[in-house]
Structure 1
Amino acid sequence: MESSPVNFIDTANFKMVFVLLSVLGLLILYITKLISVEVSSLIILTFVLLFFQFFPVLDINGSNVLSTSVLLSGFSNPALLAVLSLLVLGEGIVRTGALDNLGEFLSGIQLPSTILFAIIFLLVVTLSAFLNNTPIVLIFIPILQSLASRFDFSIGRLMMPLSYSAILGGMITLVGSSTNLLISSSMVDQGLDALGIFEITPFGLVLAGSAMLYVLFIMPILLPEKDIMNRRTSNGRQYISQFVVPADAPFLGEVALAGHFESFPNITIKVIFRDDKRIQVPFDNYEVRAGDIFVVAATRVALTKIATTFRGLFHPPLPYGYDFQLTRIRKYEEASKDNLDTSFNEDGTILVEAMISPSSRMIGLTLTQFELQQSQCAIFLGIQRRSTMRTTRMTDMRIKSGDILLLKGKPNELEPLRNEGDIVMISGTRGSIPKRSHAKRAIVIFIATILSVSFGFVDIATASIAAATATVLSGCINFRQAARAIDKTIYLLAGTSLALGTAMTVTGGASYIANSIVFGLGLNSMSPIFVLSSFFLLVAIITNLISNHACAVLFTPIGISLALSIGIDPRVFAITCLFACNCSFASPLGYQTNLLVMGPGHYGFMDFVRAGLPLVAFVWIVFTLIAPMYWEL
């Protein structure tokens, strides 16, 4: 009897192939960024849930081993909950200003620049071993910018080492990186004991310490100095902006000469929209009309000059679908009863560069949507996105983490956004000093958490959840701030990856990949250290292409199966996967802190390849040399 297509799909081999194709599809979506990480995760997760609902994997009792509850159990995984809880704890430390005294001390210390920067980077490594590294990087960005200005030092030679120092710190302890906790959880799912909080510390110190020698002494040579304007001030940074030509503009009827307009001598016109028509350079015979939309590129100084020369240009009445300025005109009129130009009164106004924080409410909103939701009167002048200059209509742009906005307004108008954690001021103002009455409480909670786990009083998940609860109940942060500290991207990405990891193990996909690598490449005849080193390099490469969280969860079961295939302690391969996943140096996409420093450091993609790829190779070589002695292979 011929088998039907349904019977073929319901075979064990096809189920394994389906899971492996799902993993491949997820990796492709993560690498290409065709759609957001959150949407990619939900799409793949939905397909997997539906597939195993109709084609279950049955045990001897007839129960579905990959039921919906099993696949979704990753979202309640203790390690994932610990990761999210530690984010809340870290938010409490940042909000209370517990680390601000340290930053102020470093800013005022009198030491040679090279020594001072080395101290700061080593301090970042130490802090990142115990705290989430994203807020640490956000804290030190303005500190390093201030010091770079004081010493006339290239900011481009500071921002990337800052990010790498934070990443390296995550190698030192279990709580140093959320990736470490997810790998520890995967080990438990595979039948191994969870990692101890300091189990990876000896090897991690060797890797991080040797890598810091590269960061301090070799990386500055590989990172080119940016132009003198970018070194001495951020005025040389190019922003993209947009304005609508008002009906009473003094430059109405002006004709372009060789692509330039007399009224705008220091800006570059990228594109002009008239109705639904897109007009490109060189704008031959173009005559300015009311309602035209100009998308321009200009420095901070040039945009400020335009805003003050043509008052009202950046906050006209709201024409449908066009205006994207960050002003609530009606509320402003009700509050001040003054002319709209009051917001550009030089008395009391400041110009700031503000970076979108990872937990910002703005992320995913178009600039128009944000304008309609926020209640401040700050004037939006321009946006810079990770060195990429956009020439589309600004109303079509969605805000992303790491975007840098050029804003103008009074401090009290900007402060609510800063206080809510939506933006991080990186120039123009230091902002107000946070209330520190609860700083000691946050530090005590943090120390108690580390000690309780270190001495085995409670497990990491229980300690983290208790710490997050204590952070809220003690008044360090409120519940809304705690909720916003939870990274939804990590939650969806890790939960989906855990589901796929479970499916790979149950269907035999992890064992199939491991056996294919071992016997297909002839690794069964190779030395264990060769196999281990090759696995490290493979994971280190992939972690620079996709999220390190996804890489960790997907490759841990593969590494454990690979270890069993060659007769090595699977714990060794799991820890190897941990160190390799923390090697996200060669791409700005591999780690969130890389994206955060990309704008302030004026980096392009190739800057990370130039400086980060040798670091990946360096850590790999050190690992290969140390591993045989450490594990007696």
Structure 2
Amino acid sequence: MSIDAIIVLTALIAMLIVLAMDKMRPGLTLLLVAIGFMLMGIITPKEMVAGFSNQGMITVAILFLVSEGVRRSGALDYLIKKILPQTKTSVRKAQLRMLPTISFISAFLNNTAVVVIFAPIIKKWAEFVNMPSQKFLIPLSYATILGGLCTLIGTSTNLVVHGMMQESGYEGLKMFELSKIGIIITIAGLIYIFIASKKLLPGNNLNGDTGKEIKEYYFDAIVPEDSLLTGAVIDHGHFKEIPQMSVYGVYRNNSFMPADKQRIILRASDQIILAGKSSSLKTLISIEGIKLTCLQNVDKDFIQSAVKLVEVVLGPRFPGIGQTLGKFDFFRHYGGIVTAVNRNGERITTGLNKLKLQEGDNLVLLTDDSFISTWGDSKVFYLVSDAGDFEIPQQKSRRWLASVILIFMIVGATIGEYMPKVNGMKIDMFYFAAAALFAMTALKIFPAKKYTKYVSWDVLIAIASAFAISQAMTNSGIANIIAGVIIDIVKDYGPHAVLAALFLITNICTETITNNAAAALTFPIALSLSTELGVDPMPFFITICVAASASFSIPIGYQTNLIVQSVGGYKFKDFLKIGLPLNLIIFILSIILIPLIWEFTPIK
């Protein structure tokens, strides 16, 4: 092994550790590694910056803005209203109505944008029809991931592999090339979700017909010394003074007493944990005899104007990451009072001032009507959602226009693959995506002055840097070395075993780091594997596309999983229980079907 190969291997191991420990954002991590390779002479400055001009990377940037245009038009809000049942139904029937449509939409739009729009609407709808939202939010994320496997633009990973193929001298992927395997995997995945989610996902009232009210929100209140409620009785969770809410438990002298199996007589200074719907907040504020813990030191004038619950999911740009709520002072920065924090399925309502904020935390805020209009587009939050009544905004003026432009882009990109070049220019996905962006900007479907807010720059930097890292793996020879080791281990079992090994390596990387980084790391290995075996590399490229997107077992592996974990209050184990079998199903289908569709054709 050469010195360059040792340096690259060591740097890659260090990079994986940093990414897995979330010490830095992926974009900066990959960029620093790429710069290090350039400084050591493993790649040239031209190879270092080549990814920033790659057509696949720029297409990803354009599609961020196209997705934002569709989001702002209200088309997706209108669609989700149409597919969500408005009357009592079962979990399975509701999933059958919504998930196939969501997968179809995600084949053409950014997955994160779809989840950011649909997750709060589905949560409010579930509360509206008295069903557990936890039966729908993980399936929402999974449906978007599955849909993304079906087209070239379904996920940025596909475009990364497409760009790397072109950089390596191959034609690249056609618009619906991945549909040959993606549609089969999506159908199988959705069938599994329909069958498994009833037993494997948390949430009560499984059939929607028990009559028991679903309560999604918890409120922390104190009984003051002079309270009229001192001596009142909580009988097995029922509190007649607040009949529209139930009591989850009472903290007394640092000891917790669950309320569902006993009678509790309230005392002064007791801390009551009340469960209710979002609409219960106004009532709770007006009740004499108790005080919400989060409002003890808040100005009375603000309390009178703050009549809305808003949920936010903290993004990586939030300035208070790593600080306690007490030190950061959320109210001073954003004009909202934090009433609760959801983290890893745990609803935290006590000791909030001492809680250190983390990326992905779901904060429930008490605020006024101006919060969403002020901070709704800010990238410090993954998601900003009104937690109030189920209501869909109506924006008819732009809805159909955005839809027509999107359809034009999809149809044009599909037909353009078979059209001759015009003035030496290929009429492909990049061309029609650029045309769609031009039309949306000219027609003011999204505010042009704020366009930088709608692009995930960290993702783009990670993708561009990944091209340089991939080149370093090729230049140093480490890709050939790793490929040789894999072949030596599984060569007795044929090319199917090599394909399986590549799938597992890619999938493990995507679950622990990021999907784009996983694709970039394994692409040169895939190329070396096909060269060593003397076969067409297309089966290996397709395997990377599928494996790098099949992130179901761990919430940190895919941004949509992280968002629904926060919004739905899921625990880490919830993803493992339902996601691991889905990973196994996709693995088996991929290893069987990919070689049948894209054969191991010998290279002459």
The 3 A distance-change label for structure 1 pair 297 and 590 is: farther
Match of 1:20 in 2: 9
Q: Is residue 407 of structure 2 the alignment partner of residue 447 of structure 1?
A: yes
Structure 2: tracts of 5 or more residues without a match:
228-246, 257-268, 417-425
Question: Which one of 538, 544, 559 corresponds to residue 511 of structure 2?
Answer: 544
Q: Indicate conservation of the 8 Å contact 2:362/2:566, yes or no.
A: yes
Offset at 1:541?
Answer: 2.8
Match of 2:567 in 1: 600
What amino acid is the match of 2:568? G
Aligned residue for 2:376, secondary structure, equals: helix
Q: Indicate conservation of the 8 Å contact 2:71/2:113, yes or no.
A: yes
Offset at 1:98?
Answer: 1.4
Aligned pairs for 1:118-129 within 5 A: 118-129=96-107
Q: Indicate conservation of the 8 Å contact 2:166/2:172, yes or no.
A: yes
TM-score (norm 1): 0.76
The 3 A distance-change label for structure 1 pair 618 and 495 is: same
Match of 2:48 in 1: 71
Aligned pairs for 1:296-445 within 5 A: 298=273, 305=284, 314=294, 340-345=299-304, 349-356=306-313, 364=321, 368=328, 371-374=331-334, 376=335, 378-388=336-346, 394=353, 397-398=356-357, 400-401=359-360, 403-418=361-376, 422=381, 423-425=383-385, 427-430=387-390, 433=393, 435-445=395-405
Match of 2:25 in 1: 37
Match of 1:4 in 2: none
Match of 2:41 in 1: 56
CA-to-partner distance for each residue in 1:5-58, whole Å, 9 max, x for gaps? xxxxxxx8111211121111111112222x1324xx5355335424532x424x
Match of 2:195 in 1: 217
Question: Which one of 194, 199, 206 corresponds to residue 177 of structure 2?
Answer: 199
Tell me how far apart the structure 2 counterparts of residues 555 and 204 of structure 1 sit (CA, whole Å): 20
Q: Is residue 437 of structure 2 the alignment partner of residue 468 of structure 1?
A: yes
Tell me how far apart the structure 2 counterparts of residues 22 and 214 of structure 1 sit (CA, whole Å): 39
The 3 A distance-change label for structure 1 pair 310 and 466 is: farther
Tell me how far apart the structure 1 counterparts of residues 316 and 392 of structure 2 sit (CA, whole Å): 20
Aligned residue for 2:312, secondary structure, equals: strand
Match of 1:535 in 2: 502
Q: Is residue 568 of structure 2 the alignment partner of residue 568 of structure 1?
A: no
The 3 A distance-change label for structure 1 pair 79 and 48 is: closer
Aligned pairs for 1:499-518 within 5 A: 499-518=468-487
The 3 A distance-change label for structure 1 pair 477 and 434 is: farther
Tell me how far apart the structure 2 counterparts of residues 387 and 341 of structure 1 sit (CA, whole Å): 32
The 3 A distance-change label for structure 1 pair 14 and 45 is: farther
What amino acid is the match of 1:438? R
Q: Indicate conservation of the 8 Å contact 2:405/2:436, yes or no.
A: yes
The 3 A distance-change label for structure 1 pair 208 and 227 is: closer
What amino acid is the match of 1:497? A
The 3 A distance-change label for structure 1 pair 137 and 46 is: closer
Tell me how far apart the structure 1 counterparts of residues 212 and 74 of structure 2 sit (CA, whole Å): 28
Offset at 1:621?
Answer: 1.3
TM-score (norm 2): 0.79
Q: Is residue 137 of structure 2 the alignment partner of residue 159 of structure 1?
A: yes
Offset at 1:233?
Answer: 6.4
Tell me how far apart the structure 1 counterparts of residues 497 and 447 of structure 2 sit (CA, whole Å): 51
Offset at 1:387?
Answer: 2.4
Tell me how far apart the structure 2 counterparts of residues 150 and 312 of structure 1 sit (CA, whole Å): 24
Match of 2:454 in 1: 485
Q: Indicate conservation of the 8 Å contact 1:311/1:341, yes or no.
A: no
Tell me how far apart the structure 2 counterparts of residues 95 and 566 of structure 1 sit (CA, whole Å): 49
Offset at 1:137?
Answer: 1.7
Identity %: 26
Q: Indicate conservation of the 8 Å contact 1:415/1:431, yes or no.
A: no
Match of 1:256 in 2: none
The 3 A distance-change label for structure 1 pair 453 and 598 is: same
Tell me how far apart the structure 2 counterparts of residues 224 and 313 of structure 1 sit (CA, whole Å): 28
Aligned residue for 1:380, secondary structure, equals: strand
What amino acid is the match of 1:344? I
Aligned residue for 2:170, secondary structure, equals: coil
Offset at 1:629?
Answer: 2.5
- State the Cα RMSD in Å: 3.8
What amino acid is the match of 2:80? G
The 3 A distance-change label for structure 1 pair 312 and 89 is: same
Question: Which one of 588, 591, 594 corresponds to residue 621 of structure 1?
Answer: 588
Of 383-392 and 602-611, more deviation after overlay is shown by 383-392
Q: Indicate conservation of the 8 Å contact 2:314/2:358, yes or no.
A: no
The 3 A distance-change label for structure 1 pair 189 and 413 is: closer
Tell me how far apart the structure 2 counterparts of residues 165 and 524 of structure 1 sit (CA, whole Å): 36
Offset at 1:69?
Answer: 3.6
Q: How many positions carry a matched residue from both structures? A: 546
Offset at 1:160?
Answer: 1.1
CA-to-partner distance for each residue in 1:140-184, whole Å, 9 max, x for gaps? 223433443355433222111111111000110000111110111
Of 308-317 and 139-148, more deviation after overlay is shown by 308-317
Tell me how far apart the structure 1 counterparts of residues 286 and 514 of structure 2 sit (CA, whole Å): 40
What amino acid is the match of 2:560? T
Match of 1:591 in 2: 558
Aligned residue for 1:599, secondary structure, equals: helix
What amino acid is the match of 2:3? F
Q: Is residue 32 of structure 2 the alignment partner of residue 46 of structure 1?
A: yes
Offset at 1:580?
Answer: 0.9
Of 540-549 and 81-90, more deviation after overlay is shown by 540-549
CA-to-partner distance for each residue in 1:270-297, whole Å, 9 max, x for gaps? 9xxxxxxxxx9679xxxxxxxxxx9x99
The 3 A distance-change label for structure 1 pair 552 and 156 is: same
Tell me how far apart the structure 2 counterparts of residues 486 and 419 of structure 1 sit (CA, whole Å): 11
What amino acid is the match of 1:622? L
Tell me how far apart the structure 1 counterparts of residues 442 and 221 of structure 2 sit (CA, whole Å): 45
Structure 1: tracts of 5 or more residues without a match:
1-11, 58-65, 252-264, 271-279, 284-293, 318-324, 326-339
Tell me how far apart the structure 2 counterparts of residues 432 and 410 of structure 1 sit (CA, whole Å): 19
Of 580-589 and 471-480, more deviation after overlay is shown by 471-480
Tell me how far apart the structure 1 counterparts of residues 413 and 320 of structure 2 sit (CA, whole Å): 34
Offset at 1:534?
Answer: 2.7
Aligned residue for 2:163, secondary structure, equals: helix
Tell me how far apart the structure 1 counterparts of residues 393 and 201 of structure 2 sit (CA, whole Å): 33
Tell me how far apart the structure 1 counterparts of residues 110 and 532 of structure 2 sit (CA, whole Å): 35
The 3 A distance-change label for structure 1 pair 419 and 488 is: closer
Tell me how far apart the structure 1 counterparts of residues 37 and 584 of structure 2 sit (CA, whole Å): 40
Of 383-392 and 534-543, more deviation after overlay is shown by 383-392
